[in-house]
Amino acid sequence: MRTRPLALPFGCALTLLGVGALLPLPGLSWSFVGAGTALLVWTAALYVHVRRRGRALSMHFRPRSQHWMQACAQTAVLLYWGWHVRFVYAFIPMIIAQLVFAYGVEALVTWSRRDTHALGFGPFPVILSINLFLWFKPDRFALQFAMILLGYLAKEWIHWERAGRSAHIFNPSSFPLAVASLALIATRASDITYGADIASSQFYPPHIYLVIFLAALPGQLWFGVATMTVSAVLALYAISLVYYVLSGTYLFYDTHIPIAVFLGMHLLFTDPSTSPRAPAGRVVFGMMYAAGTALVYALCGALGIPTFYDKLLPVPLMNLLVRRINRLAESGRLAALDLSRLLPAWPGLGQHAAVTAAWGGVFLAVSALHGIGDNPPGQALPFWSAACQAGHARACSYEGQMTFNYCQDGSGWACNEWGIQQAAAGRSATRTFERACRLGFTPACQNAGRAGDDPASFERGRPLLTDLSIVLRGTKPPLRDRSPAELYARACAQGWPGTCRTPGGAGGG
C-alpha cells in the first residue's frame, strides 16, 4: 500500500519503452527508450528507498484552473497552426510522449522529497509551452526529454521566499527553453532543432494574431495577466516605431511585432506564479520582456546567431528580478504605471475585466495601424525596394534575400531580378537567367547571353500572373488558390507598378 502510487511513473516508463521499441527511426527510438529507462530506474530506486524508510506515498487529484485554462489556449493555437502547417500534426505523437514523460517526472520529483503528490493538469501547459517554441529533430530528441527533466528539477529545487512562503523562481517551461537556447548558441548547433521553422511557419495561418488573442483571452481575464501582455505589446511597438523613424526599416524586418514574439507575450512569460503580483510591477515586467526581446534580437542578428531565440532568453533573468520589482511597486515608486488608477473596476467584474477590455482596444488599434496582422507593409517587396533606393543598406540586403527566396520558389521574374543583382555584385548570373528563362520569363532569355554586359542594360519586366502567386506572399505560403483579380488587387495594394489598372497591363514582355 505504501508504494502503490508508484504505478503511475512505472506505467509511464513502460509506455515510453514500448513505443520506443516500435519506432522505425533509430535516433528517435533510442530517445524514447532512454527516457523510459530513466523513469524505470528512478522508480525502482524510489521504491527501494520508500520500503527501507517505511514511508507511505499518497496521491490525490487537485486540478488548478490556471493549468487547464492555459492548456486550452495553447492547444487551440497548436491545432489551428497545425491545420495550416501539417507537419505540426505529425509532431503531436511526440508531444503526447512528452506529456507521458512529464507526468512520470513530476510524480517522481515530488515523491523524492515528500510523501504526497497532487495530480492535475500541470504537465500540459509546461509541455505545450515548450513545444510551441522549440523542437529537437528526431535524431536528437533525447534533448527534448532532457529539457522537461530540467524544468521540473528547477521548479522543485530552485526556490526563494516570496510573500512569506517558499516559491519556485523559474517557470518550468521558460527556464529549460532558455538554458537549451544558450547551449545551442554556445555550441553553434541550432540546426539540430526546428526552432527557425517553428518561428517562420507560425505566421502561415490566416488571422493568426487574432486567434492567439482570442485563445489567450479567458486566461488574461481570469488571472489578470493582460497587464503584462498589453504593456509588452505597446513597449515593443514603440521600440520598433523609433527604429523605423531612425532607419527607415522595421527592427524585425517584416513587421513591428513578429508572430512568435506575440505568442510569447501571451503564453510564455505571463505565468502568474513567476511574475509580479502588483499591477504596476506587471507593467514593468511586460516592458522588460519587450526590451529584452528587442535587445536579444539585435544582438543575435549582429553576431550571426539565429534570431528565433529572441523571445526565449529574457524570461529567466526577468524571473530573478520579480522580488525587486514587487518591492518597488509596494514602495509606491511605480505608482505612475499602476493601471488600476486609470481603469476603475467594473461593477461585478472587477479590475481584471477593465484591463482586459483595455487590452482588446489596444489590440484593435495596433492592428489598424499595421503593427500586427497578416499584411503589414514590410511583407511587400516594393516596400523594401523603395527603402533600398532611399539608401538603406539593410533594406537592400533584405530585398535581395526576398528575391532569392522567391526565385527558389519558382518565380521567373524573381530569378531574373536576382540575376541582375548578382551581376551588379560582380558574380556570374548566367545560370540564374537560364532558370528564369526556363520558368517562362522571356526577358531573362535575352539576359542569359549577355552575362558580361552592364547590369543596367539587362532586360526587365513586370511579374507574370504565375509570378504573382509567389512574390505577393511575403513570408506566408504562396497564394495558390487566388483568382487573377484577387492577385492583381493584392499587387496593387502592395504597390507593384502597373498592377492597378487592368490585368492585361502586367506581363513579362
Q: For 316-364, how does the pLDDT look when each residue is reduced to its tens digit (9 = 90+)?
A: 999 999 999 988 887 877 777 766 666 665 555 567 788 888 899 999 9
Q: What is the per-residue pLDDT across 200-235, written as a single tens digit (0 to 9) for each?
A: 999 999 999 999 999 999 999 888 899 999 999 999
User: What percent of the chain stands above pLDDT 90?
Assistant: 75
Q: Are residues 171 and 22 located together in one domain of the fold? A: yes
Q: Are residues 352 and 276 located together in one domain of the fold? A: yes
Distance CA 437, CA 424 (A): 19
Q: Are residues 347 and 427 located together in one domain of the fold? A: no
Q: Are residues 331 and 245 located together in one domain of the fold? A: yes
Q: Are residues 363 and 391 located together in one domain of the fold? A: no
Distance CA 372, CA 250 (A): 12
Q: Are residues 147 and 1 located together in one domain of the fold? A: yes
Confidence tier at 393 by pLDDT (50, 70, 90): confident
Confidence tier at 124 by pLDDT (50, 70, 90): very high
**In a domain? residue 152:** yes
Distance CA 371, CA 240 (A): 9
Q: Name the burial class of residue 192, with classes exposed (0-12), middle (13-18) and buried (19+) by CB atoms within 10 angstroms of its CB.
A: middle
Q: Are residues 271 and 415 located together in one domain of the fold? A: no
Q: Are 380 and 495 in contact (CB under 8 A)?
A: yes
Q: Considering 345, 360, 375, which residue would you say is the last residue of a domain? A: 375
Residue type (1 letter), 428: S
Q: Pick from 113, 120, 123, 111: which is nearest to 3 by CA?
A: 111
User: How far apart, in Å, are the Cα atoms of 83 and each of 80, 206, 453?
Assistant: 5, 11, 48
Instruction: Report, in angstroms and rounded to the nearest whole number, the Rg of the chain calculated over CA atoms.
Output: 26
**What are the cell numbers at 469?**
502567386
Q: Are residues 355 and 399 located together in one domain of the fold? A: no
User: Residue 357, Cβ neighbours under 10 Å: how many?
Assistant: 15
Angle value at C-alpha 249, between 244 and 250, nearest 5 degrees: 75
CA-based torsion, 375, 381, 384, 386: positive or negative? negative
**What are the cell numbers at 198?**
517553428
Q: Are residues 369 and 385 located together in one domain of the fold? A: no
**In a domain? residue 252:** yes
Q: Are 145 and 31 in contact (CB under 8 A)?
A: yes
**In a domain? residue 187:** no
Q: What is the number of structural domains in the chain? A: 3
Q: Considering 330, 352, 375, which residue would you say is the last residue of a domain? A: 375
For β-strands 116-119 and 58-61, DSSP reports them as: parallel
3-class secondary structure, 117: strand
Distance CA 92, CA 445 (A): 47
Q: What is the mean pLDDT of residues 45-54?
A: 93
Q: What is the pLDDT of residue 468?
A: 94
**In a domain? residue 270:** yes
| Residue 269 φ then ψ, to 5° | -95, 0
Looking at the predicted structure, is the pLDDT value of residue 1 above 50?
no
Distance CA 124, CA 100 (A): 10
**What are the cell numbers at 438?**
526556363
Q: Name the burial class of residue 86, with classes exposed (0-12), middle (13-18) and buried (19+) by CB atoms within 10 angstroms of its CB.
A: exposed
Q: Are residues 400 and 369 located together in one domain of the fold? A: no
**In a domain? residue 200:** no
Q: Considering 143, 176, 209, which residue would you say is the last residue of a domain? A: 176
Q: Are residues 3 and 146 located together in one domain of the fold? A: yes
Q: Pick from 410, 368, 126: which is nearest to 271 by CA?
A: 126
What's the predicted TM-score (pTM) here? 0.91
Q: What is the pLDDT of residue 343?
A: 64
**In a domain? residue 190:** no
Q: Are 280 and 231 in contact (CB under 8 A)?
A: no
Q: What is the pLDDT of residue 509?
A: 36
Domain limits for position 481: 380-505
Q: Are 399 and 388 in contact (CB under 8 A)?
A: yes
CA-based torsion, 15, 88, 314, 143: positive or negative? positive
**In a domain? residue 430:** yes
Q: Are residues 165 and 36 located together in one domain of the fold? A: yes
Which one is predicted more confidently, 294 or 342? 294
**In a domain? residue 186:** no
CA-based torsion, 328, 332, 334, 337: positive or negative? positive
